[in-house]
Structure 1
């Protein structure tokens, strides 16, 4: 009875109206923050925030809305960075085509990994993704074009549409901002589509979704490919921003960081991963002077947030405002 009452409360007209208002405010704040960030932050740091925010949002589609925990998303992020960097540097691709190439590579890799991983559930699914990601990391370390431990350096930014010089920080920033907003809008649309509703039904009760006639494995695979592709979009963009792709991008620790970002901001929320990514990257940047102790600080922050905000920061805000899943 409690669950029914909560559902009715969340779907009441007043709650829906309040949810739309709060969601509109969040959209306005997000767009405003993206537009004014270069005036408040160093442009390269602001671009780093946007790249990791997109990575976290892509990962959240899988864990937050489909219920699949992947320990190997760094493979798509880092793999796309290497592929995009290679085609930009060696093949002379223009920026947009280079990023799209990295994104398509990540989506194809996601399809291959997903075919193998979705055959299992729970911790077995997570371990398969981690094992396959470690294979990608090994290739990144051994393949000649990746530069090994030195990484792939000197990736050119080039000219956008043959006219806009992306070596200029502001030009590059607004290009990255456009990529982020497009990726975020895609995630938003997917979550609020019938496809997204089926994914959430699978997350809540997979046997019931199966009994209703849905091809659960097919939906999981599509979600995995979409999440991998958008993670690759983030990785490709990051490689263009820093003109560098390194083993760190494909390391298992990167997968752990994106999980931390998602849980910290609010798993299963739209805006939560963005908030979590901003907090984690900002802490890493501000505390870089203390060396490895930064991980202790981030870990302590995570523990505090888990104890105080069990649904994540944005999840708890949504609960207090009684707007359900609108955030």
Structure 2
């Protein structure tokens, strides 16, 4: 089989993703003029969160139940630095990213020394330890959380208290985060991560230091998750224990599974679906968690690859690939 024949499916999937991404960006630019901007910003924050998590699960094969520590930790670090230290919003977000990356280094250091369910349980245990630290630490204000975080002015002159200004800032950060993730997974480093996911012993036999690559992926995923958490703290102007709870870790797993593991836009779709359900069904008498659970069961039974993953494998997806190839 020729090299061109081997790369053809990959090129088709890439062309389909490019089509979806371009259409998605166009919709996101127009969306705040038709929908509530705060809701859209929530979707973007959780979409970046899910994509960062997918970098670890979908492309490296490591399941973490501790990503809430990075998301909520960054929210606390950003909120505290902006409110108490007077940092500008962009510097506060960078503090949150740095703090999340440091937490990722610590948790990842221990988690990669085990595999499978043991590694997952380590991430959950360490995340819960961080939760109780946030519950007791003075700077987090315990169960009250950090409230009244000022949005401030971006670069000193863009007023983020204006909803449209805040929205397009969040959109710019989201697109930057997505570009970073795309660049990682399409680089030689990303190819090695995929080889570790597919066949770790083979990667070791080829001379790669698998532990270092896993730890690097862990830190990158944590830093990008911290970017989402920092943005969330500025958007909603608070950071609470909900951000570091184990339920938040479970929620991002659900978003990624629904959208499609190992796809670039799948977690974005999953995050949008879950956020929309929580938002529009919050006032109904029927429990949102029950509806979410039913949808999850249906997707597991019918859409084994996730909704976007099944779209890629469907006839409709192949038709789109053929059109984009032509």
Query: Of 50, 58, 61, which residue of structure 2 is paired with 1:56?
Result: 50
Shift of 1:251: 0.2
Change (3 A) 1:9 1:279: farther
Q: Of 299, 303, 310, which aligns to 1:305? A: 299
The Cα shift of 1:12 comes to: 5.1
Q: Provide the secondary structure at the position in 1 that maps to 2:90.
A: helix
Q: Which runs of 5+ in 1 are unaligned?
A: none
Instruction: Give the direction of change, closer, same or farther, for the CA distance of 1:197–1:17 in structure 2 (3 Å limit).
Output: closer
Q: May I ask how many residue pairs the two structures share in their alignment?
A: 318
1:225 alignment counterpart: 219
Structure 2 distance, partners of 1:10, 1:148, is: 58
Give the CA deviation at 1:153.
0.2
Match of 2:38 in 1: 44
The CA deviation at 1:91 is: 0.3
CA distance in 2 between partners of 1:272 and 1:291 (Å): 30
Instruction: Tell me the CA shift for residue 9 of structure 1.
Output: 9.7
User: Residues 123 and 245 (structure 1 numbering): CA distance in 2 closer, same or farther, change over 3 Å?
Assistant: same
Which residue of 2 is the match for residue 272 of structure 1?
266
Tell me whether 1:117 sits opposite 2:111 in the alignment: yes
Distance 1:93 1:186, change over 3 A: same
Establish whether residue 294 from structure 1 lines up as the match of residue 300 from structure 2. no
Report SS of the residue matched to 2:105. helix
Deviation of 1:292 (Å): 7.4
Q: TM-score, normalised by structure 1?
A: 0.94
Distance 2:172 2:216 in 1: 24
CA distance in structure 1 between the aligned counterparts of 2:146 and 2:265, rounded to whole angstroms: 32
Deviations for 1:181-238, whole angstroms, at most 9, x for unmatched residues? 0001000010000000000000000000000000000000000000000001000000
- Alpha-carbon distance in structure 1 between the residues aligned to 2:47 and 2:70: 15
Partner of residue 194 from structure 2, selected from 196, 200, 216 = 200
Preserved CA contact (<8 Å) 2:17 2:265: no
Residues of 1 paired with 2:59 and 2:18: CA distance? 21
- Which of 13, 18, 23 is the equivalent residue of 2:12? 18
| Gap runs ≥5 in structure 2 | none
Q: Is the 8 A contact 1:10 1:16 kept in 2?
A: no
Q: SS in structure 2 opposite 1:269? A: coil
The change in CA–CA distance for 1:12 and 1:132 in structure 2 (over 3 A counts) is closer
Structure 1 residues 54-93: aligned runs within 5 Å: 54-93=48-87
